[in-house]
Structure 1
Amino acid sequence: MRYFSPGPVHLRLGLVCLGVGLQHGTLPAVGPRTLDHHVAVVVSSGSGWYRTPDGRSHTVRAPALLWLLPGVVHHYGADPHSGWDEAFVDFTGSAVAAYTELGLIDPERPVLPLADTVAPRAAVSRIARAARHGNPLLEVETAAGVHELLVALRRARADTASDGDPVLTALARDAFQPLSVAEHAARHHMTTAELRGAVRRAAGCSPKDYLLRIRLSRAKELLAATELPVAAVARRVGYDDPAYFSRLFTRRVGTAPVRFREQQGRTVPGGWSDTVPPPDDPPLITRDP
C-alpha cells in the first residue's frame, strides 16, 4: 500500500491519486467508516460482502467493483474462510463530477459486477509502478493512471458488450441520416424516454447531443481533409441547410467552418485514411541506405 499527498498544482489536473494497494487473502473487514474521497476496490477473485448504510448486506462475488463514496458510510470484507484478491485506488478531484455525470462512476450502485478485471488490474499495476519512491513524476503519472482506470472499469462492466453499447453503436451508425430522436427510438423499439435514459446511462448526455457530437466531429474531419464546399460538408453530416449548419458549428465549436478549415486544413499525398495503424507496427518512412 502507498499513499500520496498531491500539492495544489497537482489538484489542478482535475483528478489525482491519493493511494493504491494490492492485497489478497482472508483480509480483515473494513469499516464501518466514512472517507472524504472516492475509492475503487476491484475484486479479482474470491467472494465477500458489502453492507449499505441502512444495514442491508450484499454478497460480493468476483469479478466485481466496489465504489466507496465520500461522506457515505461503508462496511465490507472478504469471506473469512476463503478470502479474496483485491486492488484499490483512492482518488479525488474536480473531474470526479464529470466522470459521474458521464456514467463512469455510478453512485447508485456501490457494488457492480464486472465481466473481467484484466484491464482494470493492469491500470492499477501501472499506478503502483509509478508510485515508486523517488519518481519525480509520481503525482502526474498516478493521476493519468486514475483516468485510465475509470475508463477500464467502465469497459469491464458486465452490462457492457465487448464491442460497446449496442444503442450507442447504432446511433453512431445512423448519425448522418435525417432522423429525429423519436425515429431513432422507434428503430430500437423504444419510446423516446427509454432512448433518452439508455443514452444518458451509457454516454452521460441526451441522444440529441450525442448525435450532434458525432456529426460535428465528422464535419471537422471533412473540413480539414477535403476541399468539399461547406454546403457539401453540411449535407454529408445530415444538414440540408448549410446556413443552419454554419451557425450550429460556430456556436458549438467556437469558430466558423471556413475559419476552422483555414486553421486545420492540410493536403495529404495519397489522401487521408480513417484506419488506425496497429501500435506495435506503425507505418514508417523507409530510407534508402
Structure 2
Amino acid sequence: MRHTWMRYFTPGPAHHRLGLVCLGVGLQHGSLPTVGPRTLDHHVAVIISSGNGWLRSADGRRVAVTAPALLWLTPGTSHHYGPDPDHGWDESFVAFTGPATAPYTELGYIEPDRPVVPLRDPADARAVVARIARAARRGNPLLEVETGAAVHELLVALRRARAGTATETDPVLQALARDACLPLTVADHAARHGMTPAALRTAVRAAAGRTPKEYLLGIRLGRAKELLAATELPVAAVARRVGYDDPAYFSRLFTRRVGLAPVRFRQQESRALPGPGSTPRPDPAS
C-alpha cells in the first residue's frame, strides 16, 4: 500500500528573478515505485524520514539509504533510487530551481557530490515542506512567492540537520566569533586551536560554508557597522575596536566590501544620540 500527494507549479519570469522558485512538492509513504534512471533539469531535495532503500549514483555505485537521510537530485546528473520493496519508506520532496542555486552550491548548502546525506533530525525540514504543501492550495494568490521563499528556509533547515556537522554549537566557530575582533591572523587563530591553517580552513568551510578569513571579516564588518551607527566613536577608534590598527586600511576595506565609506555609512545609518542618556538594550541573541 502507498499514499501519494503531489502539486506542481509553473512560476513566471519575475518569480525566477527572485532567486529561487519552487516547482513542486510531494508527500509519499509506503511501498513506492522505483524512480529512474532519469536526468532532471532542476534540483530536488528528497527527505527520507523513515525506512530504508538505495540510490544508484551517476558513476553506477549503489548506495544504501537509511533514514533519516537526504537525497540530492541535481540537474544533469542521472539518478535511480527506490525504497525497500517489502517495507517502503516515508519521503517528502521539493523541486526547485533559480539563479540562487549557484551560490547556495558554492556555500555548501547544496552538495552535488553527495547524493545521499545522513541527517540528524529532519523535523525542521519536514515542517518547511509542510508549509509549502499548505501554500500549494488551489487559488492561493501568493503561491509562487510564498513557496519560493520557503525553499530558502528549506536549504537552511537541511544544512542544520546534516549528521556530523554543527552550526551555532560548533566550538571552533564559537571561538572564532568570540575572538574575531582581536588583531589576529588566520594562522594565529589556527595556532590558538592547535590546528594548522589548512585544518582550520577545512573545519570552517564544513561548518559555515566560508573560509576563516571571510567568516572573521563578516563578523568584524558587522560589528563596525554597529559601532558606526550607534556611537560617535571616531573611525580610527572603530577600526581598533574591530581589530585593525591601520584606520586607512580599515576604511579602504570597509568601502570595498560595504560600498560606502565608513563616514558615509554613519551619515546614512546613524542611530546615535549626542550626549549621555542612551541606555543600550540587551542583545536579543544573548
Q: Same fold (TM over 0.5)?
A: yes
Q: Is the CA contact (8 Å cut-off) linking 1:103 and 1:202 kept in structure 2?
A: no
Correspondence for 1:286 = none
Correspondence for 2:284 = 276
Match of 1:197 among 187, 191, 202: 202
Correspondence for 1:214 = 219
**1:88-107 equivalence runs, <5 A:** 88-107=93-112
* Cα distance per residue 1:6-59 (max 9 Å; x no partner): 111111011000000001011111111110100000011111111112221111
Correspondence for 1:10 = 15
Gaps of 5+ in 1: 279-289
Match of 2:114 among 106, 109, 113: 109
**1:1-289 equivalence runs, <5 A:** 1-161=6-166, 163-267=168-272, 270-276=278-284
Q: Is the CA contact (8 Å cut-off) linking 2:71 and 2:116 kept in structure 1?
A: yes
Q: Is the CA contact (8 Å cut-off) linking 1:102 and 1:202 kept in structure 2?
A: no
CA distance in structure 2 between the partners assigned to 1:163 and 1:209 by the alignment: 17
Secondary structure of 1:104's aligned partner = coil
Q: CA deviation at 1:254?
A: 1.1
Gaps of 5+ in 2: 1-5
What TM-score does the superposition give when structure 1 sets the normalisation length? 0.92
Report the RMSD for the aligned CA atoms in angstroms. Answer: 1.6
Correspondence for 1:285 = none
Q: Is the CA contact (8 Å cut-off) linking 1:181 and 1:192 kept in structure 2?
A: yes
Q: Percent identity?
A: 73
CA distance in structure 1 between the partners assigned to 2:157 and 2:209 by the alignment: 17
What TM-score does the superposition give when structure 2 sets the normalisation length? 0.93
CA distance in structure 2 between the partners assigned to 1:144 and 1:271 by the alignment: 36
Q: CA deviation at 1:170?
A: 1.8
